[in-house]
Chain A
Amino acid sequence: MMGTTLFIDPGRCIGCQACVAACRECDSHRGKSMIHLDYIDAGRTAAAMPTVCMHCEDPVAPCAEVCPADAILVTADGVVQEAAKERCIGCGNCVDACPFGVPKLDVAEMLQYKCNLCYDRTSVGLAPMCATVCPTSAIFYGSIEELEADRPGAQAIDVFRFGSAEVRTGCAVVAPDSFTGPAPGGM
């Protein structure tokens, strides 16, 4: 069951990178964006899609599962946290394990960085910065009911298939209602 979470809707994305700019404003990683913004159909269209941490939950997030230093903790409410700086050994296992290619490794600092779902904001009832500023609500923070009220016919997908493996995620991707999941997760 999805509660209040992030919904990514590539059909609405205009590729403006407001999310990237907003992510750089985070006081815990000022100047660095944790969002991957890809122009996914370059040369043919202006299509774009942001990738944020999907906060996987099945069985636990792959990044946390493979962390040899137990640096990646999951909060009781399901947020998969950035590797704790005092524990992270910069091995990059999480980078390799993430099915969505989300964590970044700062090789100079030998530390992992990734989205914490703006815990400073969400824990006090604010939406994450990326979803707050997104001009088109291609990144939407709210409940599935709020999403459906806003855009009839949308469907949220929170199961992704990678080969024979399925991953259930805490964040969801919006697809047309004609689509039947799980979503193809890539290679």
Chain B
Amino acid sequence: MSDISYPVVAPGVGDFRGAGGAEPAAQWKATAAGERLVPTHCSFCGVQCGMYLRVMDGRVIGVEPRNHDINKLRLCPKGVVAYQQVHHPDRLLSPLMRDTRDGPLHLVSWEAALERIVSEIRRIQSTYGRDAFGVLGGASMTTEKTYLMGKFARVALRTRHIDYNGRLCMVSAAAANKKAFGIDRAGNPWADLLETEMIIVAGTNIAECFPVAMQYFWGARDRGAKLVVVDPRETAMARTADEHVALRPGTDAAFYNGMLHVIARDGLTDERFIAEHTVGWEAVRDTVAAYTPERVGEICGLDPRQIERVAHLWGRARRCWAAHGRGLEQHLQGVENVLSCINVTLATGQIGRPGAGYGTLTGQGNGQGGREHGQKSDMLPGGRDLSNPEHRAYVAGVWGVEEADLPPKGTSMHEMVRQMADGEIRGLLGMCNNPFVSLPNQAVVRAGYDALEFHVQSDFFLSETAARADVVLPSTVWAEDEGLTTNGEGRVVKHNKAVEPPGEARTDWEILCELARRLGSGDKFPFTRPVEILDELRVASKGGLADYYGITYEKVEATGGVFWPCPTLDHPGTPRPFEGGRFYHPDGKARFVAVEWRPPAEPPDEAFPLRLTTGRTVAHFLSGNQTRRLPGLVEQTPRPWVEVHPSLGFADGDPVRVVTRRGAVTYPALVTEAIRPDTVFVPYHWAGAIAANVLTIDALDPISKMPEFKVCACRVERGQAVDPVPEPPMPPGEHPYRPETTPLGDPRSPTSPQGRGTAES
């Protein structure tokens, strides 16, 4: 990191209308003087846009676009205001503690907080066994921190119970990629999109979830590419697509089987690629033979001719691209959905070339890096397998512990919550997650946390989950620490430190090291700077699938990002891991996996005739803890709503009660033709009584254990009054920052899913 002057940036260098050279107007004050620009990346999604933080007198005062290779200056509305988290008045500045499980939180010293945590860990582990204390991490942390989470659980606590919120985000794609390709990574850098001829966007609202990635998709279209968007809603991207495949939620696998049926029937497969680079085509070919366009049209609620058209667009293009997101993945058969899409890609040889690409779009900033280095219940650093004796022995060697002392694999995040309710897990350390909003079926989640004997949570704002904890530790925002993240392309970038943490806030890695020291494992956690953690991680990942050995801060800063695997210091990284049809199974070939479509866990019936699907809106991020307190974003989208088709008989703004077998919430209606008549949509970023997880089902994919957020049965009825938006939690006696321009409790629905038009504000 270095201090640099203002960048000279494109596009459009030069003066307005080419006249050039006029002096700034009188009274005009540009305040560039005295500022320092710190190059970094965004705190939010898996695109990981480059940005500069403007720093003056030890404070982050704004943002300046950065011409980084990923985003080329662009930012979304969250990225523009990300810096406002740093000095936000709601920041937690000192530890909080409650003396009894249901007593009030009060301020406490770090010493007392740490002492309590350590004594509770000791008490619980000695009374109920080591596995009775669990750890839940998150994938918005740097890779260094996520690595340390795994090591802390397995070395300092020696518990098998560690998992992370990527369980809600990435695991179905990861499991499918592992099965098909032998490695969990996207196939291509996004720049390859500019050379594609045909794109399928499968269940991802890119315009709202990854706005800055849109430039690659629009860029491909500028160059003539066809665009197909598969989504029950006509998203901003689907609006002008060549084909909008508005299928019923929960029918994805049938659709891709149908596409492949037509492709195989009409001789559009790439037989040479299949023969040379894949295994298992015959079983898939036989399976998809039963998925005729007519049958698939029936299952998916589509015109069979559209399935034919999409299959022909794909089958006849020379270079195709499949991009998918949670719409494909968050299902009871999420892994199989992804595999059905990969089957199309493999059968036509559309992978591993410029313009021929495949990849999931990771939701969290470090969705990729956060799942590779050991905070997932079954994984060790480097994408190693916790059940593989050789992998265990290698990592144990790096950590200086006995292989036999490493715990076995644990359970998934939502399973852990159920184990809390059952008394199997009695204590919990949570970092970088907010399960009260992010997990499905809120009642089950609350029951799990309520049953805990001890719960410690770290965060920089008091999240709904942290507000229930016995000890809350104030942690840092991204601009107060440095470390690596890996974006959706598999590109490793670096966050830089811009300012010191406020008050008594500490980084999560410092907290883990201090706890480890007090638990008697200090010698295994001697880290004083993130680079020391990285250096150990590099060795721990060496030789694994996710090999980071050759990745250093210097290399990342010098190149604009390094794609893993990167096994040696002079290795350039691997932007296209599947180039030349090379895959990561021992025989170098990809695997077809035959998939039969199965209905969702809760198909509609007479009592609950509609399908509820959930998702994001552009102004907010995941559980909303980072965005529901930022005025501009609250102004854009102050509250959740329910999106309904006009045929259901409601008017805009009507209070509509959405009812599922788990609960009911009354939202204002956003009536739009841009959704299927049999489907309703609720965004999931809000908490408490208006949270989408009052409604969602906690059915899990049997392979990935990812919850089925994307479909459950519901009904809608006329409500009395719209349920109010609860205030964000604050320590006792404090009130959340709320400027007059963004009053809480605005009962209106937004103008459009992206928010409220500014003419109305």
By a beta-carbon cutoff of 8 Å, the part of chain A in contact with chain B is: 2-5, 11-18, 20-22, 24-25, 27-28, 33, 35-39, 42-48, 55, 73, 75-79, 81, 84-86, 116-117, 119-120, 122-127, 129, 131-137, 140-143, 146, 150-152, 170
Contact = CB atoms under 8 A, between A and B. Distances in A.
Interface stretch (B106-114, B205-213, B332-340, B361-369): B205-213
A48 B632 CA distance: 18
Contacts of B13: 4, 125-127
Contacts of B759: 36-38
B469 interface: no
11 contacts: A14-B208, A16-B754, A25-B80, A27-B31, A37-B758, A46-B239, A85-B27, A123-B24, A126-B9, A133-B65, A141-B12
> Which 6 A-B pairs rank lowest in CB-CB distance, beginning with the nearest?
A3-B18, A77-B19, A141-B12, A39-B752, A14-B207, A142-B12
Given A45-B239, A123-B22, A126-B9, A28 B29 contact: yes
A134 to B, nearest CB: 7
B88 to A, nearest CB: 15
A176 B427 CA distance: 62
Contacts of B81: 21
B556 interface: no
Contact of B16 (A35, A79, A137, A140): A79
Given A43-B672, A119-B25, A12 B218 contact: yes
Given A21-B632, A135-B215, A27 B17 contact: no
Interface residues of B, number: 70
Interface in B120-163: none
Given A16-B208, A42-B751, A135-B211, A120 B30 contact: yes
Contact of B22 (A39, A76, A129, A140): A76
B674 A16 contact: no
Contacts of A86: 27
B645 to A, nearest CB: 11
Nearest to A27: B31
B89 to A, nearest CB: 15
Interface stretch (B69-77, B255-263, B704-712): B69-77
Nearest to A138: B218
B17 A81 contact: no
A135 B208 CA distance: 11
Interface in B626-671: 632-633, 636, 646, 652, 671
B754 A17 contact: yes
A116 B29 CA distance: 13
A142 B11 contact: yes
Contact of B74 (A12, A27, A133): A133
B14 interface: yes
Contacts of B16: 3-5, 55, 75, 77-79, 117, 122, 170
A133 B207 contact: no
Contacts of A76: 19, 22
A95 to B, nearest CB: 13
Given A27-B30, A42-B751, A141 B236 contact: no
B688 interface: no
B207 A16 contact: yes
Given A3-B17, A43-B672, A137-B218, A48 B754 contact: yes
B11 A127 contact: yes
A146 B22 contact: no
Contact of B77 (A4, A17, A73, A79): A17
Contacts of A12: 218
A77 B22 contact: yes
B9 A127 contact: yes
Given A46-B754, A84-B26, A136 B9 contact: no
Contacts of A81: 25
A102 B62 CA distance: 26
Among A73, A134, A136, A146, chain B packs the most CB atoms within 10 A around the CB of A136
Contact of B80 (A18, A116, A141, A170): A18
Contact of B619 (A13, A17, A84): A17
Nearest to A117: B16
A20 B758 contact: yes
B475 interface: no
Given A25-B80, A37-B757, A135 B74 contact: yes
A170 B234 CA distance: 34
A142 B24 CA distance: 20
Given A5-B16, A18-B80, 16 more contacts: A15-B752, A17-B636, A21-B633, A25-B62, A45-B239, A55-B16, A75-B25, A77-B17, A79-B16, A81-B25, A129-B65, A133-B65, A135-B211, A135-B212, A136-B218, A143-B18
A122 B77 contact: no
A48 B750 CA distance: 13
Contacts of B729: none
A116 B752 contact: no
A16 B209 CA distance: 10
Interface in B741-761: 751-755, 757-759
A95 B25 CA distance: 21
A97 B31 CA distance: 32
Contacts of A16: 76-77, 207-208, 211, 236, 618, 754
Contacts of A122: 15-16
A46 B25 contact: no
B601 to A, nearest CB: 29
Contacts of A21: 77, 80-81, 632-633, 636
Contacts of B12: 4, 127, 131, 140-143, 146
Contact of A43 (B14, B63, B671): B671
Given A25-B63, A27-B30, A14 B673 contact: no
B374 to A, nearest CB: 34
B187 interface: no
Contacts of A136: 207, 211, 214-215, 218
Given A33-B758, A37-B758, A77-B16, A43 B618 contact: no
A139 B679 CA distance: 33
Contacts of A133: 65, 73-76, 79-80
A45 B673 CA distance: 7
B14 A125 contact: yes
A122 B18 CA distance: 11
B240 interface: yes
A2 B15 CA distance: 12
Contacts of A116: 25
Interface string B17-47: 1111111111111110000000000000000
B198 interface: no
Given A116-B25, A132-B9, A123 B239 contact: no
B748 to A, nearest CB: 12
Given A43-B671, A75-B22, A132 B751 contact: no
